[in-house]
Structures are given as C-alpha cells and as structure tokens.
Structure 1
Amino acid sequence: MAYKIVFFDIDGTLVNEDKQVPADTIEAIRELQSRGVEAVISTGRAPYFFKPLAELLGIDSFVSLNGAYVVYKGQPLYKRIIPLTSLEALVNHANLHNHSLVFEGSDAFFSNAETHPHVIEAVSSLKVDLPGYDADYWKTTDIYQVFLHCQAEEEHLYEQALPDLRLVRWHRTAMDVLPLGGSKAQGIAAMLQHLGIEPEEAVAFGDGLNDKEMLTQVGLGIAMGNSHEELKPYADYLTTHIDEQGIRNGLRYAGLI
C-alpha cells in the first residue's frame, strides 16, 4: 500500500515522558516529509498547547481536542462543539461532587476553580501554562473539550449522569470530556474526506486510550512500544519505545522511509 498521510499523537508518541522530542523522531519526520507524505498531528491537546512542537516539526495541519477541532494548512475545516445543555449538566454534576473543570476553546482555556491541586497536577504534567480562572467561560465561548478532575474511583459518579458525553481518562486526576461519539477518528475522517484520501491510504501512531478509534480508522495503526496495554490490541503493528527509535521503526515498517 502506498500510504499518503500519517497522523501522529503527541504525548508518548512524539514527545517522551520528559516532554522532549527525541532527535531521531525529528529526523524521521523530516525524511517522511521530504518524500511528499503529509505529516499531521492528531492529539487530545488544544492548539495552544502544541504550537512550538508543530513549528519545530514543520507541521501546519492537525486534528486537535480529540477530533473536535481540525485545521489543514492553517485553515479550520471541521469543528464539533459541546452543546450548552450538555455543558450545563456537566457543570451542575461536577459542582455536586466538588470536582473542578477546565473548559477548552480553540484559542484559550479556563478553569472554574481559582486554585485546585488536581488541576495543577494534571495540567502541569503537560508542561504548559496553567489555565486562567473564569467559571462562566463555557457560557460565552464555543467549548470543544473539558477536563474533569476526579480520580478513577470516582468515575462511577458520572457513568449514568451524562448520557450525551464521553469521558476518557488521561491522567491520575483528570479525564477528557467529549461529545458522545467524539474521538480523533472523527477529525481524521473529516480531513481525509477534505483531501480525497481513503482511510486505507493513511497511517496513525498512538500510545494512549484516546487512540483506539484512530488506530482502527486508518489502513495501518501503529502503537508505540510504550503504549497503554489496553491500546495494543487495536494496533496492526507494535513499534519500539518512543526513546528507542519508535517513530523511525514504525515508518520503516510502513515503507515510508
């Protein structure tokens, strides 16, 4: 198969635990691009969280916020916001259990708690600035994703309460809240349709629980050697650890470099 486009997750795929891009990964992606293959970021992060990374890699197309906000060569082509009624239900239920929220728009993010240890711990792990404080941000701005700050043993509190939302854990103290059915795969489908590329002609690299749909959406789904164990069965190929030339070895397997 002559693959035409490759989608890359960020955390654990392009950047390691120290939030650094291995030098070999940079070289492998530049080699991929030199061969005329599209390189696209596909992440749960918002655009303002990965701008320096995109510039470093020379990538100007991305599927962000777990598929809810998609940009191709600087131009937005797909948006899926969380409805206000769903946000209101989430806010009310989180307040009931004293769980803080962080609301993510396309250009900024704000928390409904001025300071909260779970917010600080989870957001700091991304090596980005902490959110500002605006408890009503969700009322005035399109929101594509929310961080719900609770621990794993508290997830059951939300299982039946929010039927039109999807929750995916990414940190010990935090979960992504998406529209029901939302995933990176939706954003990828929108970009592939825009470009006239068939899913079978695409490759995706990932390592986390929010990469399941993405890896099965494309022709070749590659899981990093450091992937979450629950992700591995969804992959067509398991490459090496991110710090052991994982991207290069996966691209070689795909016949792209």
Structure 2
Amino acid sequence: MTRIAFLDVDGTIAEHGSTIAPSTVTAIRRARANGHLVWLCTGRADGDIHPDVRAIGFDGAISNAGAYATSGDELIVEHPMPRADVAAIETYFEAHGIHYFLQTHEAVFASPGIEPMMREYVRERLAKRAAEIAARGLDGEPTTSIPRARPLAEVDRGRVAKAVFISPVADTVAHAGAELGERFHVIPGSIPLPGGSNGEIGLAGVTKGSAILEVLEHLGLDRAEAIGIGDSWNDVEMFQVVGTPVAMGNAPVELQRLAGRVTTAVLDDGVHNAFAELGLL
C-alpha cells in the first residue's frame, strides 16, 4: 500500500540550517524507492528551501506553512493574502517597532532593522552549532533558520503568503493575536532566539493541514494513509489531519503529547527511526 509522508524541514530534516543526518537522506530515498511518496511540508518560502534539502529528492513541496504547494512544475495550492491584510499586519509591526519578514512563494523579504539586530545572535549561534556538528562528525553548514532575505522594498504585496516577526517583547505572539483578530493565524515561530519572541502570522484557515488536504484530494489519496512528521507549532494542523502524526524528539513536550507518537531528535536519526517503525523502509 502506497503511503505519503509530509516532512517539516527545520528541526525535522535539517537542524535549523543545512546539517542533515545521513540516515535521514537514506530513509527518504529508500521510502521513495519502495513506492511511497515523500513531500516537504515547511513554513519556509519555496525559494528559501536549502539546496541540500532539495537535493535529497521529494515528490512535492508544501511551503509557506500551507499557502503554496507544488508538484513538479505545477502549482497546485495558491493562497496569497489580500493586500489589505498584508497592510494590516505591517501597520501593526510598525506601530509596535517590530522587525519582520514577508514571504512570497519565491523569496523572503526583510524589514530594514532585522540585519543589525540579528548579527550578534547569528555569530554566537554559528560558533556553538559548529562545535556541536564537529563533535557529532556530521557534514553541513552551521546556519540558523533565519531566511536568506531580500530588501522589503522589492516585495510584491499581492504575492505575500505569511509574515514572520522578531520582537524584543516576550508576549508579542499573544498580543498580535489579540490585536489583529480572528482573521489571522498567529503562532510561535521556530527561530531559536536568546530572548524576546518570534512568531508567524498567516491567514486563518491557511495552514499545513489545509494544504495537506488539498494535496491529498489532488493526488486521490486517503488521509488515513498520510504521515506527518514535525517539531514546530505550525505543525499542529498537520498532526490534526494526517492518519499518523509523529513529533520529533526535539519538539516541545506539548507537541509531542498532541502527536501521540514521538521519534528521536533531528540529528539522532529521527526521520529514519520513524520511517522504519512505520514500515516505509
């Protein structure tokens, strides 16, 4: 029986950059060789997925936390925000002095204040991760999950899928949700910051889960045969719609409880162990 697995990227396939456990590559390629389908299911923009992740080989990709999905060269899910909603989000950020990224299908665009704010944090994190990667004997570039961004002035606001913010205030996720209202889906982000808060804002109802249902309908597959593996808060809706949700060992405890099934951590053969247990290998 053909099964389909949807895999988050940061914290699931790669350790918030391009460091990938060799067993993850082996597992994905073997599962596909065995006739199963493996899809990316990431919060990143399609154009911001690291080439080393792409090189593993996948049957399709859900990106921007469900706003877009592609199968080969075909765009099968496309839900950009209306311009008025983008304007409402940017107005909120500017009113509260919050730095942010806007994501389209093709790229990520950064507000002017992000680069200087993040420079020291990036330097410290890269040094720490390089030492950890070397200690494990793994290959890969020690990077963070901060997107490779273009200037905000270049963005087409008719193509924006979601926003990612970085705030010095700890409660911005809750505050943004309350102030922006029910039209928006505001959740904690996955950029590991030393302080403050990080979050994602998309349209309510546009999630990884909604995109998975569209993909399954397009492919003529049953959700009972779908597997979803992830570690972040934008994976909640994925867990809710697939037949077999799996949380990574490095996921927050609350997400592990929500999934019910837990594998090992991202660099401890998490994807491989999940695939093996589920019979894909």
Fold-level match, TM-score > 0.5? yes
The residue aligned with 1:162 is: 180
Q: 2:278 aligns with which of 244, 247, 254?
A: 254
Structural mapping, 1:1-257, within 5 Å: 2-17=1-16, 19-113=18-112, 115-118=114-117, 125-126=144-145, 128-129=147-148, 131-135=149-153, 137-139=155-157, 141-150=158-167, 151-163=169-181, 164-170=183-189, 171=191, 172=193, 173-257=197-281
Identity across the alignment (%): 24
Deviation of 1:49 (Å): 1.5
Task: Give the 3-state SS of the residue equivalent to 2:227 in structure 1.
Answer: strand
Task: Give the 3-state SS of the residue equivalent to 1:41 in structure 2.
Answer: strand
Change (3 A) 1:218 1:118: farther
Aligned AA (1:49): D
1:33-65 CA distances to partner (integer Å, 9 max, x unpaired)?
Answer: 110111100000111121513432112510100
CA RMSD of aligned residues (A): 2.1
Stretches of structure 1 lacking an aligned partner (at least 5 in a row):
none
1:163-214 CA distances to partner (integer Å, 9 max, x unpaired)?
Answer: 1111122233421111012210011111100000010011111111111110
1:53-105 CA distances to partner (integer Å, 9 max, x unpaired)?
Answer: 34321125101000001001221101111111111111112111111221111
User: Following the alignment from structure 1 to structure 2, what is the Cα–Cα distance between the partners of residues 17 and 189?
Assistant: 26
User: Following the alignment from structure 1 to structure 2, what is the Cα–Cα distance between the partners of residues 200 and 118?
Assistant: 44
TM value normalised by structure 2? 0.83
2:18 touches 2:53 (CA, 8 Å); kept in 1? no
Task: Give the 3-state SS of the residue equivalent to 2:179 in structure 1.
Answer: coil
2:76 touches 2:215 (CA, 8 Å); kept in 1? yes
Stretches of structure 2 lacking an aligned partner (at least 5 in a row):
123-142
Aligned AA (1:196): G
User: Following the alignment from structure 2 to structure 1, what is the Cα–Cα distance between the partners of residues 53 and 73?
Assistant: 11
1:92-146 CA distances to partner (integer Å, 9 max, x unpaired)?
Answer: 1211111122111111222232555446558x722652x222347354x410011
Task: Give the 3-state SS of the residue equivalent to 2:49 in structure 1.
Answer: helix
Equivalent residue pairs, number: 253
User: Following the alignment from structure 2 to structure 1, what is the Cα–Cα distance between the partners of residues 17 and 202?
Assistant: 27
User: Following the alignment from structure 1 to structure 2, what is the Cα–Cα distance between the partners of residues 236 and 224?
Assistant: 11
User: Following the alignment from structure 2 to structure 1, what is the Cα–Cα distance between the partners of residues 214 and 201?
Assistant: 20
